[in-house]
Amino acid sequence: MGALHEPVLLAETLELLAVRPGGFWVDGTVGAGGHAAEILTRSAPDGRLLASDRDAEALAAAAQTLAPFAARARLLQADYRELPALIEEPPDGILLDLGVSSLQLDRAERGFSLKSDGPLDMRMDRRGGITAADVVNRLPEAELADIIYRYGEERASRRIARRIVETRRRSPFRSTLELAEVVRSAARRPRGRGIDAATLTFQALRIHVNRELEGLGDVLASLARRLAPRGRLAVIAFHSLEDREVKQAFRSLAAAGFRLLTRKPVRPGEDEVRRNARSRSARLRAIEREAA
Ligand SMILES: C[S@@+](CC[C@H](N)C(=O)[O-])C[C@H]1O[C@@H](n2cnc3c(N)ncnc32)[C@H](O)[C@@H]1O
């Protein structure tokens, strides 16, 4: 892991999950295992963890991080949307730290980065499904514009989609840098100010390719209902679309046997943002199941 891949809102998350010795815990987005290692440390000597992720490379990294706790941790490749059916006993706490990991972003060959050249892939689970190349090279212009607008909240979506379609007529897109350059020129934003002009389009493609928002509200409700009495569910979201889903799901649950632990989302402090820029947009929310 190293300091570069510091888990986001670590202390706050563990506090809200109320991790203590013993118990059964679930991390549905284990990534490189940063939060999971801390859950296992605090639940020693006999707390158990089910750690899953849909990315095989993430699980390999997690296996290394969690090696010292191997006897108490079970690793599983799964989409967290499958977890309600896979969990065999009521958990004391469930964590979802949504979105992409530094591991995925940093590896050019995964195709998530607009800064280093790689194939236009962006799939978290590479066992199947469509790639970002399929989306930009095949979808009709209007559909592409809708995706960029809806999942990127990108105001220049129509112009960007038009430019993508014009460019692919000459030759299909193959690499991330090729696409980033075309998007930047179509977005027409002044360089050197604020975020890279291709960021929102890349975010939109990633969300579409991985169906990130599909069924999120429903799965949160199902996971919450699997909790043990006084069990807790904590979710870290990284963009406003995702956070809106979490907020609404938690609000409905708060009227049905759950207690909201965060009236406002918990955000990282200045120190954390300085150390880890990726934490900038993180928002943590949590609920607790009422006592039986
Ligand atoms: C921000 S990272 C998690 C980092 C982790 N908490 C740590 O401390 O290292 C998000 C992880 O969620 C995974 N992920 C995203 N959507 C998923 C889904 N629907 N099902 C399972 N895993 C998912 C990604 O593959 C990625 O590894």
Report which ligand 1 atom has the smallest distance to the Cα of 80: 20
253 with 233: CB under 8 angstroms?
no
Closest among 246, 224, 245 to 290, alpha carbons compared: 224
Note the pTM of the prediction, 2 decimals.
Answer: 0.95
Residue 114, amino acid = L
pLDDT tens readout for residues 49-74: 999 999 999 999 999 999 999 999 99
Nearest-angstrom CA–CA distance, 142 and 165 = 10
User: Measuring from atom 2 of ligand 1, which residue has the nearest CA?
Assistant: 101
User: Measuring from atom 24 of ligand 1, which residue has the nearest CA?
Assistant: 100
Supply the pLDDT for residue 192.
67
**CATH architecture observed for domain 115-209:** Orthogonal Bundle (1.10)
Question: Phi then psi for 94, rounded to 5 degrees?
Answer: -130, 135
3-state secondary structure of 244: helix
Burial of 225 (0-12, 13-18, 19+ CB in 10 A): middle
Strand order of the β-sheet with 93-97 is 73-77, 48-53, 24-27, 93-97, 232-237, 283-289, 258-260
> Does position 237 have pLDDT exceeding 80, yes or no?
yes
Q: How confident is the model at residue 278 (pLDDT cuts 50, 70, 90)?
A: confident
| Ligand 1 close to Cβ of residue 7 (< 6 A) | yes
DSSP for residue 257: T
Write out the residue limits of the CATH 1.10.150.170 domain(s) in the chain: 115-209
pLDDT tens readout for residues 81-140: 999 999 999 999 999 999 899 899 999 999 999 999 999 999 999 999 999 999 999 999
Give me the half-sphere count of Cα atoms (radius 13 Å) on the Cβ side of residue 84: 13
- On whether the 3-99+213-289 domain is CATH 3.30.43.10, my answer is no
pLDDT tens readout for residues 239-262: 999 999 999 999 999 999 999 999
| Ligand 1 close to Cβ of residue 124 (< 6 A) | yes
Site to probe by mutation for ligand 1, drawn from 9, 53, 76, 207 as the one with most ligand atoms within 8 Å of Cβ, is: 53
Nearest-angstrom CA–CA distance, 91 and 81 = 16
Q: How confident is the model at residue 193 (pLDDT cuts 50, 70, 90)?
A: low
Write out the residue limits of the CATH 3.40.50.150 domain(s) in the chain: 3-99+213-289
Report which ligand 1 atom has the smallest distance to the Cα of 7: 8
User: Measuring from atom 8 of ligand 1, which residue has the nearest CA?
Assistant: 34
Supply the pLDDT for residue 64.
98
Query: Which of 69-83, 181-195, 222-236 is the least confident region?
Result: 181-195
